[in-house]
Chain A
Amino acid sequence: MKRWLPFPLISAFLLAMWLLLNETVAPGHWLLGALFAWAVPFFTRQMQPVRAQKVRRLVVMVQLFFVVLFDICRSCLAVSMVILGPAKRRQNSGFMTVPLDMQAPHGLAMLACILCCTPGTVWVELSADRRQLMLHILDLHDEEWWTHTIKQRYETPLRMIFE
């Protein structure tokens, strides 16, 4: 199984992508899509992508999705206020460092996506031992609050999913 279908989740995603792109569920496209979904991971397995140790807790994933969606909307509003508001509000930006406990590479990649997609925070640099994360924050009003938000809202569920 693992030998012939090395990455089942990626295959499933590619098949879904094929069907969505062609906007059809005709049997012919299922066949073509399945061929594509099998062949791409099979022939690229030589690149040896890092395999996630485990991915579980579907409920936590769905919860995290909605938490991130809510945070994106909230940060969009906050960043718009900073841009359109008085000049004093634009003086608060700065770098800060957050200590991390997560070591799983896929979890860190997801955290990077979340932080970069949320307006107002940008992932800048991770220390070599993966324990310190440097961020740039547009409205650094309270460092404690940001550390707490990142650790509680994102890191804890990501550790439950990936570790």
Chain B
Amino acid sequence: MSPMEQVPLWAAIPVSLLLIIGGLLCVTGALGLLRLSNFYQRIHGPALINTLGAGCFLIASMLFFTVSQSRPVIHELLITVAVLLTAPATTMMLARAAVSRDRRSHRPGVPPHPGQAEGEVHTGSRKE
């Protein structure tokens, strides 16, 4: 018996939809690493997976186990909180490390420290 037969149709449809949407978002996020052209752009890809991708899977998991075990299963909320609290720390650290490395090697396309110069610096055409 497949696991989906344990839940009624009204729950199986949203669970499947959420899993498909989450999977598509994860593929898109991973594809971003390939299609975006430099480090600063690629750092945006995984945010798709962390937030809405993981969110879809966790909601699907809560729904599936709540219905199939006929009791509220909500400890996935803890995973959500942990991901949302820890992902920014790594993202910021990576971004700052990249900026600091580029400043030290005097590469073009990196702004000076905030507050010292106005205006935007584009990174769109940079390839690496």
Distance between Cα atoms of A84 and B31 in the complex (Å): 8
A76 contacts B92, CB within 8 Å?
no
A136 contacts B123, CB within 8 Å?
yes
User: Count of A residues near B, CB < 8 Å?
Assistant: 43
Chain A window 71-84, contacts with chain B (Cβ cutoff 8 Å), 1 for yes, 0 for no? 01100100110011
Distance between Cα atoms of A140 and B28 in the complex (Å): 20
A79 contacts B96, CB within 8 Å?
no
The interface stretch among A33-41, A48-56, A111-119, A148-156 is: A111-119
* Chain A residues whose C-beta falls within 8 Å of the C-beta of B44 in the assembled complex: 79, 119-122, 138
Distance between Cα atoms of A122 and B99 in the complex (Å): 12
Task: Provide the main secondary structure of the chain A interface.
Answer: mixed
Interface residues of A in 95-154 (CB under 8 A from B): 95-97, 112-113, 115-127, 129, 131-134, 136, 138, 140, 143
Partner of A91, one of B52, B75, B124: B124
How many A-B pairs have beta carbons closer than 8 Å: the answer is 133
Is B41 located at the chain interface by the 8 A CB criterion?
A: yes
Partner of A80, one of B36, B48, B99: B48
A94 contacts B120, CB within 8 Å?
yes
CB nearest neighbor in A for B40: A136
Interface residues of B (CB under 8 A from A): 25, 28-29, 31-32, 35-37, 40-41, 43-45, 47-48, 50-52, 73-75, 77-78, 84-85, 87-88, 91-92, 95-96, 99, 110-111, 113-115, 118-125
Given contact pairs A76-B52, A95-B123, A120 touches B47 in the complex (Cβ within 8 A): yes
* Chain A residues whose C-beta falls within 8 Å of the C-beta of B50 in the assembled complex: 117
Partner of A73, one of B43, B52, B115: B52
* Chain B residues whose C-beta falls within 8 Å of the C-beta of A133 in the assembled complex: 114
* Chain A residues whose C-beta falls within 8 Å of the C-beta of B120 in the assembled complex: 94-97, 140, 143
A80 contacts B124, CB within 8 Å?
no
CB nearest neighbor in B for A80: B28
Is A92 located at the chain interface by the 8 A CB criterion?
A: yes
Complex A-B: 7 CB contacts under 8 Å: A73-B52, A84-B28, A95-B121, A97-B111, A97-B120, A117-B88, A129-B115
